[in-house]
Amino acid sequence: MKFSQTRPLYTVVIAMTLMLLSTLALAEEKKEPAGKAAVVNGVAISKDDFDREMDFYLKRANERGQQVPEAQMGMMKNQVLNSLIDRELLFQETKKKGIKVDRKDVTDEFQKIKQRYSKEGEFEQLLSNMGLTESDVQNQIERGMAIQQLIDKEVRAKITMGDEEVKSYYDANPQLFQQPEQVKASHILVKLDADAPQEEKDKARKKIESVQKKAKKGEDFTTLAKTYSEGPSGPNGGDLGYFRRGQMVKPFEDAAFSLKPNETSDIVETQFGYHLIKVVDKKPAQTVAYADVKEQLSEHLKKQRIDSEASAYIQNLRSGAKIEKFL
């Protein structure tokens, strides 16, 4: 079982800065200031900042193949504005707490971002198109790092995750720690398009049959895969590693899971062509041992607790703040 890793808040801000640079890379000219989106304790959040944030979220959704329906756009705008407000509240709190960020850390992170743009003048042009300066980007990095220090001090440092609590969660949720049956296999593929003419099918079939004869005579399967396989795993001897049901196309899966270790299949036809499959190892379905998942589970539960406490911390800041929205 895999759990998400705790991600420092400032890295989110940095990632968003990079995404915004990419999103607006084709912008043609600097826009004039467009007014205020909100005011938090007397500090304005500009409409330009809001628009850049919206561009970030829309681009991220697009990269995931998701389209935001028009009916949900209002909800998304509200979430984006609230995110900006929350970060402003947290940053204001860093000032109250006297949190300082080492300028060298900011400079180092800024240089890492800048180095991702290899063409001379590319980075500077992107900033100009966005109406930003290098100082603006550095300030965003500094704000993110300051906020991270605040969360670390006021939230993360106060949270502990005892062994008994972790074990109790493990025992109460056995379904989360089930490891399905897995097969480790190698294959040899002779590619064939699904709509290939009969002549090409016959040619491909003869080729895989020829390789099959060599395998039956005892020739090394790994060597045969390196020599004859047309799939991406060919150079690695056809090694596919371990996989579970649902990860391969059905005919391939059925053949692989029906074999015993060191057995080789008959010719299997899929949408990709003709295969010979050799099973190297099999792992039965089993429950992952507590010792094997304890550390990862502890971090996962701690992250959940941190997220929950951080949300409560922000809500407390909101309760004592004067917030005006203009969108």
Q: Spell out the SS3 assignment of 137-198.
A: HHHHHHHHHHHHHHHHHHCHHHCCCCHHHHHHHHHHCHHHHEECCEEEEEEEEEECCCCCCH
Q: Spell out the SS3 assignment of 268-326.
A: EEECCEEEEEEEEEEECCEECCHHHHHHHHHHHHHHHHHHHHHHHHHHHHHHCCCEEEC
Same fold, 9-163+295-325 and 181-284: no
Query: What is the C-alpha to C-alpha distance for residues 279 and 273, in angstroms, rounded to an integer?
Result: 19
On whether the CB atoms of residues 82 and 306 are closer than 8 A, the answer is no
- Any idea what DSSP says for residue 264? B
Q: Which CATH architecture is the domain 9-163+295-325 placed in?
A: Orthogonal Bundle (1.10)
Nearest to 261 by CA among 277, 237, 243: 277
H/E segment holding residue 26: none
Residues of the chain with pLDDT > 70, as a percent, come to: 90
pLDDT tens sequence across 95-122: 999 999 999 999 999 999 899 888 888 9
Query: What is the C-alpha to C-alpha distance for residues 273 and 77, in angstroms, rounded to an integer?
Result: 47
Query: How distant is the alpha carbon of residue 2 from its chain centre?
Result: 13
H/E segment holding residue 8: none
**Can you give the pLDDT at residue 5?**
47
Fold exhibited by the domain 181-284: Chitinase A; domain 3 (3.10.50)
Phi, psi of 186 (to 5 degrees): -120, 155
Q: Is the pLDDT of residue 304 over 70?
A: yes
> In which residue are the tokens 């539960």 written?
301
pLDDT tens sequence across 1-57: 655 444 444 444 445 444 444 444 433 344 445 699 999 999 999 998 899 889 888
Average pLDDT over residues 270-275: 96
Sign, CA torsion 139/143/148/150: positive
**Can you give the pLDDT at residue 44?**
96
pLDDT band at 130 (very low <50, low <70, confident <90, very high): confident
Query: What is the C-alpha to C-alpha distance for residues 206 and 107, in angstroms, rounded to an integer?
Result: 62
Does residue 230 sit in helix, strand or coil?
coil
**Can you give the pLDDT at residue 64?**
82
What pTM value is reported for the model? 0.67
Query: What is the C-alpha to C-alpha distance for residues 95 and 117, in angstroms, rounded to an integer?
Result: 33
- What is the DSSP track for 251-263? HHHHHHHHSPTT-
**Can you give the pLDDT at residue 60?**
82
pLDDT band at 61 (very low <50, low <70, confident <90, very high): confident
Sign, CA torsion 256/257/262/266: negative
For the purposes of burial, counting CB atoms within 10 Å of the CB of 315, is it exposed (0-12), middle (13-18) or buried (19 or more)?
exposed
Question: Beta partners for 282?
Answer: 183
Query: What is the C-alpha to C-alpha distance for residues 199 and 207, in angstroms, rounded to an integer?
Result: 13
Tell me the domain boundaries of the chain: 9-163+295-325, 181-284
